[in-house]
Structure 1
Amino acid sequence: MEARLKAVLARVRMALREDSSIMTLEDALDALGRQGVADAGRCEIPVEQVVGTVSRSADFDRGFQLVNPALADRWQQIARAVRDGADFPPVDVVRLGDMYFVRDGHHRVSVARSLGRPTIAARVQSICTTAYAMACLTIAHLPSKAAERMFLERVPLPDDVRTDLWLDEPAQWLRLADAAEAWAYRSTMAGRRLTDRDRMASQWWDREVLPVIERLRADGAVLPLRDVQAYVTALATRDRLGSLDWSPAVTAHLRP
């Protein structure tokens, strides 16, 4: 019994370490997909949105708490200097969406967080990604974001839609892409002209997804807050009913 308990606790501690581990820029870009790069110059950035690193994943956790004891003395020196009003150069970061990854200045970010500083001066390079990087992302979310990236490569939704996309399960993105392409096929067979994937994606969202959500909510259906989650929930219900249209039976199954 004692050995089993130790094994369970060890697994729990490992899970907690993985959940709090700091994300690397390389892992994030592998999942989200790299597009354009631009320099944003020097500005003040929110300290709480600095949640990743370019190369020092063994020294700090996601909250930029020090996890490498060999760096404790250096950390204390910087902390004392900051409290005494020392003027440090801006940190060097890479921005993905709402997330910042530190290239240089890890100790300064860590100290700023520990002191409750709301912002920190930074030199920022921005990288646009296919899937949007929300500040709440953790390593555990990367498989779903990678699936989202693959969905967006098939269904390239407009930028203003991408920033609010969120699904928990990677398989949901595959199902959603299949649904969008099936809608495009039916639309083409009905004589609607869809000249490219960008146009297909935009029209699918505007003419299929949003009207379905509005109709279901107006009929009293209980759906998640985000539009894409609401549509996937309704789509799964429709599929279970074996229907190809949005019949009143779908709404009935989604009512409280």
Structure 2
Amino acid sequence: MNARDTGFPRADAEHDFLRARRRQVLGRLANWLRREPDDVNIMLPFDEVVEALGYVGERRIGMRMVPLGSIVGSVDRSRDFDRRFRPTSGRVRERWERLALAARRGEHIPPIEVYRVGDLHFVIDGHHRVSVAYALGLDAIEAAVTEVQTKLKPKGIRYRGDLIVKDYRRLFLSRVPLTGEARAAIVVGDPWDYAHLGEHVEAWGFRLMQSEGKFLDRATIARRWYTEEYLPVVEMMRQAELVGDRTEAEAYLWVAGERYRLIRQHRWDDEVIEQLRARRH
């Protein structure tokens, strides 16, 4: 029994709800004081996540015990609960307290239903049950799981704003279909950089086709750009200590832009390197 429990399940269920609401309000205040992003405590919308990652297919995998900490979003109830499934208002109170009372009495609580994307879970049905489980200090909850396959992995998604980066990366990889190690190597933080990099690779591919006098498909251009352009340039930048705090892809994009701005042609020599070193800050 919790130290705060009265021993009367109905009264304790009511107190559970009030504590959950208080924690939700305090969480919002703490985020404001820390000047964290507005979406840091907002539940992730399933449809937006899948759209950003690129839907491939899905399959039912049955009943599983799902860690509460992996449940980060919802299909359609993101307004009623925050990221940690604390109630955002009193409108869910009646049903919430009814479930809390049942749980405290030891009654059977039906499993929830979720979508799984990578190691993240999104509630289809059972938002109140997840919220009550959090309030009662549980670590996991039984769920019927449907696994959703996506083109990109959800790694790195923390807030709703992270979906923009994933969406632009998905579009970039549709334009520049890299695979394997090359695919993993190209990472930038600013979503617009994916758009700029896509344009750059397409322009590089166009010049390559002009030079060789034949058509090349996107996959071929992507592979040759990575091996013939990107890797040699990045290696030179490492030797010249030009990468700095950027990712290698960000450093490449910067130096490629500077190269064209400085000389408007394909040339790498000591003079160009010295000009780039002077501009790295």
**Considering the TM-score relative to the shorter chain, is it more than 0.5?**
yes
1:22-33 matches, cutoff 5 A: 22-33=43-54
1:75-224 matches, cutoff 5 A: 75-79=96-100, 88-114=109-135, 117-134=138-155, 136-158=157-179, 166-191=187-212, 196-224=217-245
TM-score norm. by structure 2 comes to 0.67
3-state SS in 1 of match to 2:177: coil
Give distance in 2, aligned partners of 1:164 and 1:42. Answer: 36
3-state SS in 2 of match to 1:123: strand
Give distance in 2, aligned partners of 1:198 and 1:103. Answer: 37
Q: Which has the larger radius of gyration?
A: 2
Question: Residue type of the partner of 1:157?
Answer: L
Q: Measured at CA, do residues 176 and 154 of structure 1 come closer, stay the same or move farther in structure 2, by a change above 3 Å?
A: same
Question: Residue type of the partner of 1:208?
Answer: E
Cα displacement string for residues 36-92 of structure 1 (whole angstroms, at most 9, x for unaligned residues): 223344334443332111011221122322213222344345456657776644432
Residue 64 (structure 1) aligned with residue 85 (structure 2): yes
Question: Residue type of the partner of 1:124?
Answer: V
**1:232 counterpart (241, 253, 261):** 253
Give distance in 2, aligned partners of 1:38 and 1:23. Answer: 21
Contact kept? 1:109, 1:120, Cα under 8 Å: yes
Q: Measured at CA, do residues 187 and 104 of structure 1 come closer, stay the same or move farther in structure 2, by a change above 3 Å?
A: same
Identity of paired residues, percent?
Answer: 32
Contact kept? 2:242, 2:251, Cα under 8 Å: no
Give distance in 2, aligned partners of 1:62 and 1:16. Answer: 13
Question: Residue type of the partner of 2:190?
Answer: E
Question: Residue type of the partner of 2:164?
Answer: P
Contact kept? 2:39, 2:159, Cα under 8 Å: no
Cα displacement string for residues 93-119 of structure 1 (whole angstroms, at most 9, x for unaligned residues): 112344321112223333444566554
Cα displacement string for residues 149-170 of structure 1 (whole angstroms, at most 9, x for unaligned residues): 3222211222666567654433
Question: Residue type of the partner of 1:145?
Answer: K
Q: Measured at CA, do residues 77 and 223 of structure 1 come closer, stay the same or move farther in structure 2, by a change above 3 Å?
A: farther
Number of aligned residue pairs: 244
Cα displacement string for residues 208-234 of structure 1 (whole angstroms, at most 9, x for unaligned residues): 334433432233224446443343344
Deviates more, 1:72-81 or 1:198-207: 72-81
Aligned residue number for residue 4 of structure 1 = none
Give distance in 2, aligned partners of 1:82 and 1:165. Answer: 48
Give distance in 1, aligned partners of 2:214 and 2:130. Answer: 52
3-state SS in 2 of match to 1:20: coil
Q: Measured at CA, do residues 202 and 74 of structure 1 come closer, stay the same or move farther in structure 2, by a change above 3 Å?
A: farther
Give distance in 2, aligned partners of 1:40 and 1:160. Answer: 30
Aligned residue number for residue 48 of structure 1 = 69
Give distance in 2, aligned partners of 1:112 and 1:135. Answer: 26
Q: Measured at CA, do residues 125 and 225 of structure 1 come closer, stay the same or move farther in structure 2, by a change above 3 Å?
A: farther
CA RMSD of aligned residues (A): 3.7
Shift of 1:183: 2.5
Q: Measured at CA, do residues 73 and 163 of structure 1 come closer, stay the same or move farther in structure 2, by a change above 3 Å?
A: farther
**1:38 counterpart (44, 59, 72):** 59
Question: Residue type of the partner of 1:103?
Answer: I
Give distance in 2, aligned partners of 1:36 and 1:175. Answer: 30
Contact kept? 1:48, 1:113, Cα under 8 Å: no
Q: Measured at CA, do residues 210 and 49 of structure 1 come closer, stay the same or move farther in structure 2, by a change above 3 Å?
A: farther
